[in-house]
Structure 1
Amino acid sequence: MTINLFDDGAWNSLRPLTFTRPVADLRLGILTIAEKWSKYLNADAGFKTQAYLSTKYPLNQEAELYINGSICPDVQLVEAILGLKTGDVLMKDGITIAGKFEPAGDIALFHPAGAPIAYEADFIKINYPEDIFKFNDVELRKDFQLLTTGRTSASLSATNTLIGDQIFVEQGASAECSTFNSKNGPIYLGRNAQVWEGSNIRGSFALCHDSQVKMGAKIYGQTTIGPFSRVGGEINNAVIWGYSSKGHEGYLGNSVLGQWCNIGADSNNSNLKNNYAEVRLWDYQKESFRRTGLQFCGLIMADHAKCAINTMFNTGTVAGVSANIFGAGFPRNFIPDFSWGGSHGYEVYTLKKMFETATKVFERRNLPFDATEKEILQQVFELTAVNRNFK
């Protein structure tokens, strides 16, 4: 089976995380949304997304099923989608969930011949960046069942303390002298993942393949560390997409980090206002701050963003793509894409300088920083120029 995962209006409201990817390439739980659908349907997934992203995330021309990339699958929803006939569109409350087309059909031009098929059950749909950490626990538990049912876990060293029986270890994963408590949620250690000595981890928690937890880390539930990442210090209810580092002491909570991010030593984010008030986040559509309805909300950091040592992030901070943050004091709650500076002020982080850094970062992972990556970042730089009126 082949499918296409399409972006709806959530692509706009999930910025800056989606400036560099389709919605379905976002991670929550253990897997990205695209990986979830591929596993549930045993399907190869393509993407119907923004034109400048389509080289890296191409459309599958042979796909018959188009599925909303902001919606997470579950057994009941998958059954409903598999029951669609050509021309059917599954909907709920005005949201297009999925449609079945002739191959090479275009959802933007499609109009069903009859009434849309109503879907009655609930499902998880992400519309805003904070939805990723908000729904991470539910999705982590679902992904844990999806990935581990019918399989046998590898074992961990006897130097560890294991509490509860919801721990699954992939081949090549290792840990020493650490505590894993799965009584409140499952713990998943991916292929070749490492947990270094003295770490204390509570479920629900996922450490994806080829990532490390450094010595003495304290990690609380509802947390996902994506692949090829390294973390330390204290982390709670946070999602890191992958290829990112928070390797030192400092607190990260109720937060989302994209790819190629780096958090300097002893950096912290606040996730609760001093007056316990509702947290607001910068909204790229409104070009103003939006009420989240949340009391706990920390840092949203887009791809390639980095901060220096001892950076202090206020509650509800959004750092855009390739923001580079340093200096004393609290930077403002919205740090525009391609910014260079901190509370003392900002200047433009030029593409030339950014490309020089990104080339070195990719080389450390033995990956090419190629023309496709540069073109995407060039487009983001141009799209976000309106926010960089620095004086």
Structure 2
Amino acid sequence: MTIVLFDDSARDSLLPLTFTRPVAALRVGILTIAEKWARCLKGEPSYLTAQYLQEKFKYTLSDDNIFINGSVCPDPELLEAIDTLQEGDALMQQDVLVAVKLPASAAAGFSVNMKGLRALQYEHKFVRIVHPEDVFLSNDIELRKDYSLLTFGRTSASLSATNTVLGDQIFVEEGAVAECSTFNTLQGPIYLGARSEVWEGCSIRGAFALCHDSQVKMGAKIYSKTTIGPFCRIGGEVNNAVIQAFSSKGHEGYLGNSVVGEWCNLGADSNNSNLKNNYAPVKLWDYSSSQMRSTGLQFCGLIMADHAKCGINTMFNTGTVAGVGANVFGGGFPPNFIPDFSWGGAEGLQTHLLEKAFETVERVFERRGRLFDDTEKQILSKVFDLTKHYRNF
């Protein structure tokens, strides 16, 4: 059976995080949504997403296909319901298509609004990622689910005796190292991925995940509901944040109630506010409506898309959205919406020229042994064009 993870309207409401990936490629918990489905269904999924992303994120069909909403995270009840679907059955929750099973003859014409399906209403709750803040809001429950999924029936590697561990909900993959640090698992599990490192003097409280090949630098303070994705380097103070992969916050400074994409860098002593002075609900820029949207949340910090950077001592106000390829620097608070491929800060913004952005990306990729190929260039070029109307500088 071929697993196809499709984008629906959540792709638009999750921008700018989904300019550069399908919804299912977002990390929430320890794994991406696609990785969760792959493990649960024991198969490698493909993606049905925006056309300009399909070269990187492949779409394949077979004689037997299950289409699953890429914004939905699996759980045992949902897996059971999907397992019982017959050809032509569509699992729905109100007007949201959750999953549909289709033969090859019908699969090629799949759309979210396709007709002629037998609608089966699903009554149980599940986790669905619809807005950027849902990533950090759902991170605690998904981290705990992923911890159970990844560690069931397995034995943890040992941790150095120089560390202090409170409780017993810690799992250490082979090659992970930590010294002279405190791990508090009394409120939630802690997962240390393969070849990850926790340097001396760190204080970490679960639920927390440090994915493979990432590092937490000396003296860092990491609070619960936090995920550090693969190939990241993190320092300072972090609380209820999700960093996707290949990003760095290597120095002091606070990051809280936030989502940071891939290939981002936060300069030394950069901070974000996650609470307004008047304790009012936080608003975020919404791409689908081109206006500020109330999240209803008292705590909401920074949403930073892929390839965004900020210079030393940058101050992000409560509920700031920084788009793909934004390069932020200077004193004062930059705007709450920093359009994709912007260059500047509080004193003004101009367009971050695409060729200059490419030069930076190429250097960053090279440092990580990655190739900035034509596929990556095509994606960023398309995002640059799609977001041009936001850069009215």
Residue aligning to 2:53: 53
Amino acid at match of 2:33: I
Residue aligning to 2:42: 42
Q: Give the SS at the match of 1:44.
A: coil
Counterpart Cα distance in 1 of 2:152 and 2:173 = 13
Q: Give the SS at the match of 1:72.
A: coil
Contact 2:343 2:349 in 1 (8 A): yes
CA apart distance, 1:182: 0.4
When residues 162 and 374 of structure 1 are mapped into structure 2, their CA distance, relative to the original with a 3 A threshold, is same
Q: Give the SS at the match of 2:257.
A: strand
- CA-to-aligned-CA distance 1:195-249 (integer Å, 9 cap, x gap): 0000000000000000000000000000000000000000000000000000000
When residues 153 and 318 of structure 1 are mapped into structure 2, their CA distance, relative to the original with a 3 A threshold, is same
When residues 4 and 114 of structure 1 are mapped into structure 2, their CA distance, relative to the original with a 3 A threshold, is closer
Counterpart Cα distance in 1 of 2:252 and 2:19 = 29
1:68-217 matches, within 5 Å, as: 68-103=69-104, 104-108=107-111, 111=114, 113=116, 115-217=118-220
Counterpart Cα distance in 2 of 1:318 and 1:204 = 26
Amino acid at match of 1:55: E
Q: Give the SS at the match of 2:204.
A: strand
Amino acid at match of 2:68: I
The total of aligned residue pairs comes to 390
* Partner residue of 1:250 out of 244, 250, 253: 253
When residues 118 and 275 of structure 1 are mapped into structure 2, their CA distance, relative to the original with a 3 A threshold, is same
Identity of aligned residues (%): 65
Q: Give the SS at the match of 1:239.
A: strand
Residue aligning to 1:11: 11
Counterpart Cα distance in 1 of 2:196 and 2:109 = 41
Counterpart Cα distance in 2 of 1:289 and 1:309 = 27
CA apart distance, 1:61: 1.9
Q: Give the SS at the match of 1:153.
A: coil
1:193-342 matches, within 5 Å, as: 193-342=196-345
When residues 109 and 360 of structure 1 are mapped into structure 2, their CA distance, relative to the original with a 3 A threshold, is closer
Q: Give the SS at the match of 1:107.
A: coil
Residue aligning to 1:65: 66
Amino acid at match of 1:237: N
CA apart distance, 1:111: 4.4
When residues 132 and 114 of structure 1 are mapped into structure 2, their CA distance, relative to the original with a 3 A threshold, is closer
Contact 2:133 2:300 in 1 (8 A): yes
Counterpart Cα distance in 2 of 1:66 and 1:100 = 6
Amino acid at match of 2:103: E
Counterpart Cα distance in 2 of 1:168 and 1:119 = 34
Most deviating of 4-13 and 96-105:
96-105
RMSD: 1.0
Counterpart Cα distance in 1 of 2:190 and 2:233 = 17
Contact 2:90 2:117 in 1 (8 A): no
Counterpart Cα distance in 1 of 2:222 and 2:197 = 14
- CA-to-aligned-CA distance 1:56-75 (integer Å, 9 cap, x gap): 00102226100000000001
Q: Give the SS at the match of 1:206.
A: strand
Amino acid at match of 2:69: N
Counterpart Cα distance in 2 of 1:19 and 1:226 = 19
CA apart distance, 1:114: 5.6
- CA-to-aligned-CA distance 1:69-90 (integer Å, 9 cap, x gap): 0000001101110111111110
When residues 228 and 112 of structure 1 are mapped into structure 2, their CA distance, relative to the original with a 3 A threshold, is same
Q: Give the SS at the match of 2:81.
A: helix
The two structures have a TM-score, normalised by structure 2, of 0.98
CA apart distance, 1:167: 0.2
Counterpart Cα distance in 2 of 1:129 and 1:360 = 28
Amino acid at match of 1:119: Y
Amino acid at match of 1:149: F
Counterpart Cα distance in 1 of 2:110 and 2:117 = 16
Most deviating of 111-120 and 295-304:
111-120
- CA-to-aligned-CA distance 1:160-209 (integer Å, 9 cap, x gap): 00001100000000000000000000000000000000000000000000
Instruction: List gaps (5 residues or longer) in structure 2.
Output: none
Contact 1:89 1:112 in 2 (8 A): no
When residues 282 and 22 of structure 1 are mapped into structure 2, their CA distance, relative to the original with a 3 A threshold, is same
Amino acid at match of 1:153: S
Counterpart Cα distance in 1 of 2:33 and 2:122 = 20
Amino acid at match of 1:310: N
Amino acid at match of 1:341: G
Contact 2:4 2:60 in 1 (8 A): yes
CA apart distance, 1:107: 1.9
